[in-house]
């Protein structure tokens, strides 16, 4: 099956699941109307754009056009940590950057970009948990939450302040959380009882959150940008670290460097997306990365994507788990407190993104059991 067809079928499955939730047919939390649903729409709007599927494109953009106003009063409205989610986050900003929204929607993006600039920050200048800024809680997920949105907003609105902010946040987060002994990222700081202690994990999707921010920066920053080399160095370094930990089935694990950890789909798919972009841009050597990329795609299809295009082996929401029993941020908590889930809301967007990059890298057919 064509990777882009797989991407659309995963989108259709997520949409049908959301319809059943809306109708009360199944009792499950929303899979689209939350921050992880915005990632699903980000994957879908790009996949529709690059496959010239106008019907699909209209469907996703129609949903994005409802942000922020229609969802503010919806029963599915969630209180977000970062205000840009309210306008549709990186999905809305990317689509607007590509010219799919009018000036009113672009000004909405500007409004939330300005709010992001003014949001609470830690003493070292990193956006922190807005509900308790005095605790200065930071986590690598912020890179996904903020960087692509501010980058696209800056490109679209010709606001260098937004682009500079995107770069600054990602580099600061990377430098706080990188472990130079293995090149992998930790997730959180401050969740373990003081402002300085960093979690012990090398969480799969957490590394994916950091990687997607770096990926979008190398994708869109001009090579002559004053900070491009800083971004490129970190992107290549994390890429080279990640490929060492792909397992024999083509997947990456919940704790990346733990060989007995369970395999996890969302981190795996985010890594594949980043590899695909890097190969297309000529940054990553295809001789090295294409075998890893193809093995990962097949692993996703064989072990994570069902014949109904459901997605399994996904870690649900996970922020320095273990706090309820004094084990916050410990490796054991990421492995025992958090278990893989079928059709979790975090699952769909990464898979769509991985299949999009398979399509854009010229892979025409994926065969799986």
Q: Which segments of the chain have a pLDDT < 70?
A: 70-79, 369
Q: Which distant-in-sequence residues (6+ apart) come within 8 Å of 248 by Cβ?
A: none
Evaluated on CA atoms 249, 38, 134, 119, the torsion sign reads positive
| Per-residue pLDDT tens over the stretch 237-291 | 999 999 999 999 999 999 999 999 999 999 999 999 999 999 999 999 999 999 9
How far separated are the first and last CA of the chain, in Å rounded?
12
* CA 333, chain centre distance (Å): 22
- Give the pLDDT score at 74: 53
3-state secondary structure of 308: coil
Whole-number pLDDT of residue 241: 98
- The rounded distance, in Å, linking the Cα atoms of 253 and 307 is 22
Q: Distance of CA 55 to CAs 39, 42, 51, 62, 350, Å?
A: 19, 16, 11, 11, 22
Q: Whole-angstrom Cα distance, residue 363 to residue 286?
A: 13
pLDDT score for 28: 83
pLDDT computed for residue 72 by the predictor = 58
In this prediction the pTM is 0.96
> pLDDT at position 69, please?
72
Whole-number pLDDT of residue 79: 64
């Amino acid at each position: 099956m064509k990777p882009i067809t797989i991407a659309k079928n995963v989108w259709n499955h997520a949409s049908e699941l959301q319809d059943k939730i809306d109708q009360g047919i199944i009792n499950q939390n929303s899979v689209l109307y939350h921050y992880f649903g915005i990632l699903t729409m980000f994957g879908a709007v790009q996949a529709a754009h690059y496959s010239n599927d106008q019907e699909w494109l209209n469907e996703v953009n129609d949903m994005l056009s409802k942000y922020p106003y229609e969802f503010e009063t919806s029963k599915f409205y969630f209180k977000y940590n970062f205000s840009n989610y309210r306008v549709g986050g990186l999905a809305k900003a990317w689509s607007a950057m590509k010219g799919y929204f009018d000036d009113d929607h672009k000004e909405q993006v500007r409004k939330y970009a300005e709010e992001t600039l003014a949001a609470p920050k830690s003493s070292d200048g990193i956006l922190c948990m807005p509900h308790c800024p005095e605790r200065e809680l930071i986590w690598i997920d912020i890179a996904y939450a903020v960087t692509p949105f501010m980058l696209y907003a800056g490109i679209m609105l010709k606001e260098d302040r937004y682009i500079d902010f995107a770069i600054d946040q990602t580099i600061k987060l990377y430098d706080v959380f990188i472990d130079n002994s293995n090149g992998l990222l930790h997730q959180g700081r401050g969740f373990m009882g003081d402002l300085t202690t960093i979690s012990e994990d090398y969480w799969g999707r957490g590394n994916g959150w950091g990687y997607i921010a770096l990926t979008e920066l190398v994708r869109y920053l001009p090579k002559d940008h004053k900070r491009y080399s800083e971004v490129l160095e970190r992107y290549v370094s994390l890429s080279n670290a990640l490929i060492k930990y792909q397992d024999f089935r083509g997947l990456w694990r919940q704790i990346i460097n733990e060989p007995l950890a369970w395999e996890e789909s969302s981190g795996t798919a985010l890594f594949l997306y980043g590899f695909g972009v890097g190969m297309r841009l000529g940054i990553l050597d295809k001789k090295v990365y294409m075998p890893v990329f193809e093995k990962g795609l097949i692993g996703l299809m064989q072990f994570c994507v069902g014949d109904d295009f459901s997605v399994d082996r996904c870690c649900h929401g996970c922020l320095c788990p273990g706090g309820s029993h004094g084990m916050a941020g410990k490796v054991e908590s990421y492995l025992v407190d958090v278990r893989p889930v079928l059709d979790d809301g975090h699952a769909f967007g990464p898979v769509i993104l991985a299949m999009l990059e398979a399509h854009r890298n010229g892979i025409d057919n994926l065969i799986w059991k």
